A and B are shown apart, each in its own frame.
Chain A
Amino acid sequence: MYVAVKGGERAIENAHRLLAHKRRGDHGVPEVTLDQISEQLGLAVDRVMSEGSLYDRGLAALAIKQARGDLIEAIFLVRAFRATLPRFGASEPVETGAMRVQRRVSSTFKDIPGGQILGPTFDYTHRLLDPSLAQGFAPEAPATADASTAPTPRVTDILGRDGLIESSPRSEDGASVGDLTREPLNFPADRDLRLQNLARGDEGFLLAMGYSTQRGYGRNHPFAGEIRFGEVEVEFFAEDAGFAVPLGAIELTECQMVNQFKGSATEAPCFTRGYGLAFGQSERKTMSMALVDRALRARELGEEVRAPAQDEEFVMSHSDNVQATGFVEHLKLPHYVDFQSELGLLRKLRREFADAQAPEAMKEAAE
């Protein structure tokens, strides 16, 4: 009834109290701690850090707990907090070639300098539910060896030495990196903004878009040149000191796809690149991102733009899950004013339709 909309304020408060109660669940079950989330649901934390664009395991774990495990909600919480943080500059480019790799695989060469390192991976596990995990489970200690001092050069750099793959474009000296969280996005967008958009983009969306290129919607013949996961140093150029100072280390996953070659009368044919990078261990995300990055380079590489994954307005406008979920879910807000207007129009059209039908029916009856 009409008066029911009154008292909305108390209803909201009560709804939030109930939410907090539900979040805690059965009090007989111990409360989950942030350390438990960070340590035992580490890949969820990685995803929230990546798509939340904020490298902080503690805050990501808190967001996951607060969001009751809803990762998009957790990403939203992290983003809203991030938006309030001051910016004091951009780091130096991280040197992923100097990564302390925990995992590193290439599908383009059987062996590579530094070796293939499987590291922690679900690959080759049989996806059988493991009842032993249902209760206290103490895993075997991992196998260890002395840390290798051999360098692990990037596979694309090895290809690049022979000119077999296009060189990565050098950044212009002094040119600042775009930031779509600080400047409104305009199309066409440069690759720095495209990569930023993809790095923040929804894993599921990128997975589907990347997958679509493999199924022929903007096919670009990819090979996983290399996927590496490990720790890199982050450095910041301090104006006062006059040199780059280390800020700390972060874990990253990097994927370099080696794609179909291009060439022309004036240029020798060479492979092209697709690039993916994410916080933590996020292989699905970085591989998808690399496929979509390559697809979005269609314009730059003179390819016909036909498939959704090649269309930067389509991809970049719909990749952000915080934007998408907000707009999809806003449909549950009241729309009754517009609906009323639409209802009025529809009733009028139906009345006119009925009036137009009526004389004909009478005519038929007379015949």
Chain B
Amino acid sequence: MNAPAYNFAYLDEQTKRMIRRAILKAIAIPGYQVPFASREMPMPYGWGTGGVQVTAAILGPADVLKVIDQGSDDTTNAISIRKFFAKTAGVATTTATEEATVIQTRHRIPEAALSENQVLVYQVPIPEPLRFLEPRETETRRMHALAEYGLMHVKLYEDIARFGHIATAYAYPVKVNARYVMDPSPTPKFDNPKMDNCPALQLFGAGREKRIYAIPPYTQVVSLDFEDHPFEPYRFNAPCALCGAENSYLDEIVTDDKGSRMFVCSDTDYCECRQAAGHHGSLSAAPYKDKAQGGANG
């Protein structure tokens, strides 16, 4: 029972090669879900094993890694994954979006525009956009092969008939390169426009479901909609309470049990950079920290 010695970035080279081949195929067929022999990782399925395998397969010693969950570098699972790669690959890590060459994310796309030398790796729970319309893999694969997406449009139409709107707030389906309907992973639909014509390579890994898919740089990504019901990104209509940003996605923080709320950027790096640059919001003055402590005591 010797302590095992692990390879650079944990996975053995054969496994990485297998994953890289799947990635290359995914890039060649934008939006198509490539099956791959997902490994059992030392973190649970559903906690980013697909993203972790993709990151492990593309990471080189010179890379700088950023890991976010809900837009934040400080959420527990993001910390756990960042530490995993710091330990097994010894790569530099960062919280600054622009310094990173590889960004692994769960549920958000950073606010700052990405560049050509960056790769965005998404953690995907259910890669199949048609899964909740048709549970069978054999059926959904056939529907993709025939580009038979009527069922999805019917679903969106039924939403409009019932609610007056397309009632999908996150994991909003997109069409990639005018061919495959794709699940953008459970990002809020606010982030969908960022996927379109993005200079960075976008890779999607679903470990439990054993699928990898990709959006190559500068690829057309269109959110599904109707002419008379165009796609609308949702954003709470308020500036960030810390940095005053008017165009970032906001988290709602419940501050007491009397209905008080504050709204702050979900992208912590974006918010901190703006504050460092002198921007501030209604609650970013000095009393903010005191209040925080008061809240912790209360």
A-side residues, CB < 8 A to B, are 1-9, 11-12, 58-59, 62, 76, 79-84, 86, 181-188, 313, 317, 322-323, 325-330, 333-338, 340-345, 348-349, 352
Q: List 12 A-B contacts (CB under 8 A).
A: A1-B296, A2-B242, A3-B292, A5-B74, A8-B74, A184-B36, A313-B135, A333-B47, A337-B70, A337-B187, A338-B169, A352-B164
For B26-47 the 0/1 string (1 means CB < 8 A from A) is: 0000000001111111101111
Most buried by B among A2, A183, A313, A345: A2
Tell me the minimal C-beta distance from A327 to chain B in angstroms: 4
Q: Which of B143-151, B219-227, B251-259 lies at the interface with chain A?
A: B251-259
Contact between B255 and A338, CB atoms less than 8 A apart: no
A1 and B165 in contact, given A58-B1, A185-B210 (Cβ under 8 angstroms): no
Tell me the minimal C-beta distance from B298 to chain A in angstroms: 9
> Main SS of the interface on chain A?
helix
Contact between B251 and A11, CB atoms less than 8 A apart: no
Contact between B40 and A345, CB atoms less than 8 A apart: no
Tell me the minimal C-beta distance from A111 to chain B in angstroms: 45
Contact between A338 and B188, CB atoms less than 8 A apart: yes
**Size category, B interface:** 35 or more
Contact between A313 and B167, CB atoms less than 8 A apart: no
For B227-270 the 0/1 string (1 means CB < 8 A from A) is: 00000001110000010000001111101000000101010000
Tell me the minimal C-beta distance from B191 to chain A in angstroms: 9
Contact between A84 and B4, CB atoms less than 8 A apart: yes
- Find chain B residues with CB under 8 A from A325 CB: 44-45
Partner of B189, one of A1, A184, A341: A341
In the complex, B197 has a CB within 8 A of chain A: no
| Bound CA–CA A76/B108 (angstroms) | 28
Question: Top 4 A-B pairs ranked by shortest CB distance?
Answer: A326-B45, A330-B46, A326-B44, A184-B35
A337 and B137 in contact, given A3-B289, A12-B76 (Cβ under 8 angstroms): no
Identify the closest chain B residue to A82 (Cβ): B40
Tell me the minimal C-beta distance from A333 to chain B in angstroms: 5
B-side residues, CB < 8 A to A, are 1, 4, 6, 12, 35-42, 44-47, 49, 69-72, 74-77, 79-80, 83, 106-108, 125, 135-138, 163-165, 167, 169-171, 186-190, 208, 210, 234-236, 242, 249-253, 255, 262, 264, 266, 289, 291-292, 295-296
| Bound CA–CA A187/B80 (angstroms) | 34
Contact between A342 and B169, CB atoms less than 8 A apart: yes
- Find chain A residues with CB under 8 A from B40 CB: 76, 79-80, 82-83, 181, 322
- Find chain A residues with CB under 8 A from B163 CB: 349
A338 and B37 in contact, given A12-B76, A352-B164 (Cβ under 8 angstroms): no
Partner of A340, one of B35, B39, B44, B252: B252
Partner of B35, one of A2, A11, A12, A186: A186
A313 and B165 in contact, given A9-B79, A326-B46, A336-B251 (Cβ under 8 angstroms): no
- Find chain B residues with CB under 8 A from A337 CB: 70-71, 107-108, 170, 187-188, 249, 251, 266
Partner of B37, one of A7, A183, A329: A183
- Find chain A residues with CB under 8 A from B38 CB: 184
| Bound CA–CA A352/B164 (angstroms) | 9
Most buried by A among B38, B83, B208, B291: B208
Identify the closest chain A residue to B266 (Cβ): A337
Tell me the minimal C-beta distance from B254 to chain A in angstroms: 10
Contact between A1 and B44, CB atoms less than 8 A apart: no
- Find chain B residues with CB under 8 A from A6 CB: 74
Tell me the minimal C-beta distance from B175 to chain A in angstroms: 20
Partner of A322, one of B45, B136, B236: B45
A12 and B79 in contact, given A83-B41, A322-B45, A337-B108 (Cβ under 8 angstroms): yes
Contact between B189 and A313, CB atoms less than 8 A apart: no
Identify the closest chain B residue to A328 (Cβ): B46
- Find chain A residues with CB under 8 A from B190 CB: 341
- Find chain B residues with CB under 8 A from A349 CB: 163-165, 167
- Find chain B residues with CB under 8 A from A2 CB: 242, 253, 262, 264, 292
Additional 19 contacts, C-beta under 8 A, given A3-B289, A326-B49, A334-B75:
A5-B75, A9-B79, A76-B44, A82-B40, A84-B6, A181-B40, A187-B136, A313-B135, A323-B45, A326-B44, A329-B44, A330-B45, A330-B46, A333-B77, A336-B70, A336-B252, A338-B107, A343-B252, A352-B164
